[in-house]
Amino acid sequence: MDCGVITSKTVLLLLSLAFWAAAAGLSYVGAYVVNTYKNYDNFLQDKYALLPAAIIICIAVVMFIIGLIGCCSTFRESRVGLGLFFAIIMVIFVAEVSAFVLGFVYRERVKNDVQSTMHSVFEQYDGKNPESSVVNYLQEQLHCCGVKNYSDWTTTQWYNSTSNNSVPLSCCRQEMVKNCTGSLDQPQELNTQGCAELLESGLQSVISYAMLVILGFAIVKFFGMMSVCVLTCKREDSGYQPLYSGMFS
């Protein structure tokens, strides 16, 4: 058998196996992105920022079936099966390229999106409403306080209404949370870094990670399409019998 055919078959078999592994990996990445945005959706106006993650999850749903088609088609060297496999790979490749481009676009928009909404959410803080729970969760998880720094709280309605010269307890440093009162007279007990910068960095890192995974799989799909072309052309030109045809006949 031609060396190119053996190589192509090996690539396609490995690609088919990779589809099953990729289903789990892509599901994890998509769910992680969705969960991250869900935790901070109050700070994001553009809900289409979840579109790359939605595309990833949709792709993962059909991975196992595609892997099965790829294995059977490669072993039997079926023109119909290989053609179907090629078409599926092409569609996924286009979807992944689209997700990569969208991820790049929305990664650049995260900063403006966060900056434009965070001030309004912090302004609605009263310690009881849903926005207050989101703010407290954000400050506790990111170990931050205020939008740009802890002094931002002095301009909020909540701060002016309490008149106790303190910030929410969620601003307290983790190691000092038991004794912390949130008083601005004791800044050493507070997280002084603002939440906007940390949130922007975190969201951009998540998108960048998703984009890197998408790019890697897109490259694999490209080589897979090339292998299908090589296997199909060699089969038509040489007229040889499939090596594994007896196993699946």
**Confidence at 229, pLDDT banded by 50, 70, 90:** confident
**pLDDT number for residue 248:** 37
**pLDDT number for residue 21:** 82
- CA–CA distance, 54 with 34 (Å, rounded to integer): 8
> What is the per-residue burial (b if ≥16 Cβ within 10 Å, else e) of 121-136?
bbebbeeeeebbebbb
**Confidence at 212, pLDDT banded by 50, 70, 90:** confident
- The most distant pair of C-alpha atoms in the chain lies apart, rounded to whole Å, by 88
Which residues, at least 6 apart from 88, have a Cβ–Cβ distance to it below 8 Å? 66, 69
**Confidence at 245, pLDDT banded by 50, 70, 90:** very low
Burial of 34 (0-12, 13-18, 19+ CB in 10 A): middle
Rounded to 5 degrees, what are φ and ψ at 172? -70, 145
Packing angle of the helix pair 130-142, 79-123 (nearest 10 deg)? 110
Quick: pLDDT tens for 107-125: 777 766 777 788 888 888 8
**Confidence at 243, pLDDT banded by 50, 70, 90:** very low
Contact 221, 89 (CB under 8 A): yes
With 70 as the cut, is the pLDDT of residue 2 above it? no
With 70 as the cut, is the pLDDT of residue 12 above it? yes
Mean of all residue pLDDT scores within the chain? 78
**pLDDT number for residue 40:** 67
**pLDDT number for residue 241:** 47
Rounded to 5 degrees, what are φ and ψ at 77? 55, 45
Q: Which residue has the higher pLDDT, 150 or 236?
A: 150
Q: What is the pTM of this model?
A: 0.58
Domain boundaries, the chain: 3-248
Question: Of 34-38, 174-178, 234-238, which range is least confident?
Answer: 234-238
Q: Which of 39-43, 161-165, 181-185 has the highest mean pLDDT?
A: 181-185
**Confidence at 249, pLDDT banded by 50, 70, 90:** very low
Q: Show the tokens assigned to 60.
A: 């993962």
Contact 37, 29 (CB under 8 A): no
Contact 34, 50 (CB under 8 A): yes
Quick: pLDDT tens for 57-103: 787 777 777 777 877 877 777 778 888 888 888 888 888 888 888 88
The full DSSP string for 76-95 is HT-HHHHHHHHHHHHHHHHH
Q: Which one-letter amino acid corresponds to residue 32?
A: Y
DSSP assignment letter at 127: S
Q: Show the tokens assigned to 8.
A: 């192509």
What whole-number percentage of the chain has pLDDT above 90?
0
